[in-house]
Amino acid sequence: MDYVIEMKNINKSFGKKQVLFNVSLDVPRGCIYGLLGPSGCGKTTTVRIIAGILGADSGETFILNQRMPNLELMSKIGYMAQSDALYNMLTGFENLKFFGQIYGMKHKELKARIDYVMDLVNLTEDLNKPVNAYSGGMKRRLSLAIALLPNPKVLVLDEPTVGIDPLLRQDVWEELYALADKGVSLLVTTHVMDEAVKCTQLAMMRDGRLLATGTPEEILKKTGTSDLEDAFIKIGREGITYES
């Protein structure tokens, strides 16, 4: 199988506290790969290592068959952090322009992408408002728009729909499916079970360890459960690792 993201035996500590234990992930091309787990389980640390923002203590990470971190490759990866990294005194348009220039996008291309991504996240009418006038949900949507700006082949989204209303959340997921259909590979972290079931592949994480990998259907079958919440609870109680 053609994998666009490969993590091999990743370990990570902050001081004396180890937060990742031999984490290995393989994300197929054109897949929406969900990383499911509660807050503090290591999801954000994992995706920050994938995006090249953090270094691992041991193990290897590859994106598009190139070892990370790689500064040139990092500019081609769309990354949406769990916390919005926005300039509140600038307008939505000025934030997009700033990050687009960091990506090395030219004026005509950048203008077209800004129009596209702001329409996608339903913020076109708020393009010229200062970000400090945005609601929390609007800021999340702007962060998603920024991640989509460079038209990336790999998109890493850390809790992308937190604070977004249910109707817009559905629109966002429809676009994620459309991106996957176009060959974009997505890694999405979530703690919400009804979002996890929408992923084509899934990894369950707890206390810095992967507990199960596979399609949602495969995980349900292996655990003998009817929904992912029951599967997660059963896996946690048994202490058994279920891999595809």
Tell whether 161 and 144 lie within a shared domain.
no
The CATH number linked to 52 is: 3.40.50.300
Identify whether residues 69 and 173 lie together within a single domain. yes
Domain count, the chain: 2
In the block, tokens 């897949």 appear at 31
Query: Which is nearest to 154 in space by CA: 173, 174, 182, 116?
Result: 182
Residues 57 and 95 grouped into a single domain = no
- Last-in-domain residue among 108, 131, 151: 151
The confidence score (pLDDT) of residue 242 equals 64
Helix (H) or strand (E) holding 177: helix 166-181
Is residue 162 domain-shared with residue 191, that is, in the same domain? Answer: yes
Same domain, 110 and 145: yes
DSSP string, 103-152: TT--HHHHHHHHHHHHHHTT-GGGTTSBGGGS-HHHHHHHHHHHHHTT--
Q: Are residues 30 and 57 in the same domain?
A: yes
Q: For residue 152, say if its preceding peptide bond is cis, omega within 30 degrees of 0.
A: no
Query: What is the CB neighbour count within 10 angstroms for residue 219?
Result: 26
pTM here is 0.87
pLDDT confidence of residue 130: 97
Domain span at 12: 1-76+153-244
Q: What is the pLDDT of residue 168?
A: 76
Closest to 33 in 3D by CA, of 236, 225, 208, 205: 205
Treating both helix axes as pointing N-terminal to C-terminal, what angle do 92-102 and 136-148 enclose, rounded to 10 degrees? Answer: 30
Residues 16, 129, single domain; the answer is no
Among residues 119, 151, 183, the one where a domain terminates is 151
Q: Are residues 57 and 161 in the same domain?
A: yes
pLDDT in tens, the chain (244 residues): 689 999 999 999 999 999 999 999 999 988 999 999 998 999 999 999 999 989 999 999 999 999 988 877 877 789 998 888 899 999 999 999 999 998 888 999 999 999 999 998 889 999 999 999 998 888 988 998 999 998 898 999 998 887 777 877 887 788 888 889 888 899 999 988 888 999 999 999 999 999 999 999 999 998 899 888 898 888 877 765 666 5
Question: What pLDDT score was predicted for residue 201?
Answer: 94
Which residue is listed with tokens 């728009």? Answer: 145
The 10s digit of each residue's pLDDT in 22-65 is 999 999 988 999 999 998 999 999 999 999 989 999 999 999 99
pLDDT attached to residue 162? 78
Which pLDDT score, from 0 to 100, does residue 240 have? 59
| 136 lies in the same domain as 172 | no
Q: Quick one: 204 and 244 in the same domain?
A: yes
Is there a single domain that holds both residue 114 and residue 210? Answer: no
Task: Point out the domain boundary residue: 151, 172, 189.
Answer: 151
